[in-house]
Amino acid sequence: MTSHIMPTYGRLDVTFTKGEGAWLWDQDNKRYLDALSGIAVCNLGHAHPAVHQAICTQSQQLLHTSNLYNIPKQEQLATRLCQLSGMDNVFFSNSGAEANEAAIKIARLYGHKKQIDNPAIIVMQQSFHGRTMGTLSATGNPKVQDGFSPLLDGFIHVAFNDVAAIELALKQHNNIVAIFVEPVQGEGGVNIPAPDYLNKIRSLCDSHDILMMLDEVQTGIARTGAWFAYQHNNIIPDICTLAKALGNGVPIGACMAKGKAAQLLTAGKHGSTFGGNPLACSAALAVLDTVESEQLCQQASDKGSAINQAFSERLKNNTHVIDVRNKGMMVGIELDKPCTELVALAVSAGLLINVAGEKNIRLLPPLIINNEQIELLVDTLSSLIDSYTK
């Protein structure tokens, strides 16, 4: 059968028909353990009753009006996000890339306000910020950019987790207005920087009067064991972007800003037809309530450590396993060779995983995964790794 979908994804040949918690079922009723959560989206698992209820109730009242009018659910969600994050205000979008576009536009406005005509943003190698022209230009991966030149100007790529490289760029260029970084690189291969990396970036941004912008599209909403990954460092950025888990599957993104960064996007400077509509905001409010009531930050922290420990123990005699690492429920298992084939082998074994940066198995389980499911994950995947590396 010819597909009429543009072939932008190399899809695995499996069709899911329903889900519950960390489980998914395909059309033949085969059950799968989901250790990927639709790439850090379904942090509450599938078919969570609170999200279901919120969507049903809201859709009976209103799906959409317009940002031309007041939207109380959007106000509530913004207030809630600012309380949780320490930020001042929020622009709502429909995706991570769009949240990042807002961040990039704010950085440029900030530069022009300081009379810098050609503002530049420091971004990282191996980073991922999205697929729009702006965000793919910021992304530090030639594969994402290949074929799309001319790219957007104004990004300076430096090595990740390398403060000296940032300092050097700041010395070499006098037009830098912001540093834009993921607290943990997801697509780049679960790259966890030094514990004080973000603190040092915060200091550099303060001393150079530039914006600290965090892409928390993947790390945000309890994934790393805190509401936002920067909270592990006791700092507050000037900009923080969110998407993925914010709606647990309902598309919504957010660009949160603080202080001087919060005053720049004024009337007429930015917009979105769907951004922050009543349906998406109701879902997000239910997500935030659930993360709080089910104490999912603590759970992500505890379960992430338990998963790391269990894999480290199980795989300690496998010399092809280079590293097992985690920040909360972002788990990376690094092998000494490319391992993309493991993804399909895992599907056959009833397990959903991902490989990022070619040699890193990436696990992003739903934060509600239970101990039995964690055991199954560790058993199944360790056996697959052992037979794959033999």
Ligand X SMILES: *Cc1c(COP(=O)(O)O)cnc(C)c1O
Asked if 93 touches ligand X (CB under 6 A), the answer is: no
SS3 226: coil
130 part of the interface to ligand X, by CB under 6 A: yes
* 220 contacts 246 by C-beta, under 8 angstroms: yes
136 neighbors 145 (Cβ within 8 angstroms): yes
Stretch that binds ligand X, among 12-20, 75-83, 89-97, 374-382 (CB under 6 A): 89-97
Looking at the Cβ atoms of 128 and 228, the one nearer to ligand X is 128
Least separation in angstroms between residue 380's CB and ligand X is 25
Assign 3-class secondary structure to 64-88.
Answer: CCCCCCCCHHHHHHHHHHHHHHCCC
Question: Which residue is listed with tokens 């659910």?
Answer: 73
* Spatial separation of the C-alpha atoms in residues 285 and 167, rounded to whole Å: 40
Question: DSSP letter string over 326-360?
Answer: EETTEEEEEESS--THHHHHHHHTTEE-EEETTTE
Beta-strand runs (E) in 251-298: 253-257
Q: Return the range that interacts with ligand X (CB under 6 A); candidates 50-58, 91-99, 290-298, 327-335.
A: 91-99
Q: b/e for 271-309, b at 16 or more Cβ within 10 A? A: ebebbbbbbbbbbbbbbbebbeebebbebbbebbeebbe
Residue 339 makes contact with ligand X by CB under 6 A: no
- By CB under 6 A, is residue 357 in contact with ligand X? no
Examine residue 191 and tell whether it contacts ligand X (CB under 6 A): no
Q: Does position 362 bind ligand X by CB under 6 A? A: no
Stretch that binds ligand X, among 114-122, 125-133, 260-268, 312-320 (CB under 6 A): 125-133
Question: Is residue 129 at the binding interface for ligand X, with CB under 6 A as the rule?
Answer: yes
To the nearest whole angstrom, how small is the minimum distance from the Cβ of residue 231 to ligand X? 17
Minimum CB separation from ligand X for residue 257, in Å?
17
d(CA 311, CA 298): 20
The CB-based long-range contact list for 321-324 (8 Å cut-off, 24+ gap) reads 321/385, 321/389, 322/359
Closest CA to 41 of 329, 347, 295: 329
Query: How many residues make contact with ligand X (CB under 6 A)?
Result: 15
Q: Which one of the spans 51-59, 181-189, 229-237, 341-349 is the region binding ligand X (CB under 6 A)?
A: 181-189
Min CB(39)–ligand X separation in Å: 6
Q: Which residues pair with 285 in a beta bridge?
A: none
Q: Which of 37, 43, 58, 95 binds ligand X (CB under 6 A)?
A: 95
Print the binding letters for residues 153-172 with ligand X: x by CB under 6 A, - otherwise.
Answer: --------------------
Among 22, 33, 97, 333, binds ligand X (CB under 6 A): 97
Pick 23 or 128: Cβ nearer ligand X? 128
Q: Calculate the CA 100 to chain-centre distance.
A: 11
x/- binding map, residues 290-329, to ligand X, per CB under 6 A? ----------------------------------------
| 215 in contact with ligand X (CB under 6 A) | yes
What is the nearest approach in angstroms of ligand X to the Cβ of residue 51?
Answer: 18
Q: How far is CA 131 from CA 96, 135, 136, 159, 162, in A?
A: 9, 6, 5, 21, 25
Which positions lie near ligand X, rule CB under 6 A? 95-97, 100, 128-130, 182, 186-187, 215, 217-218, 243-244
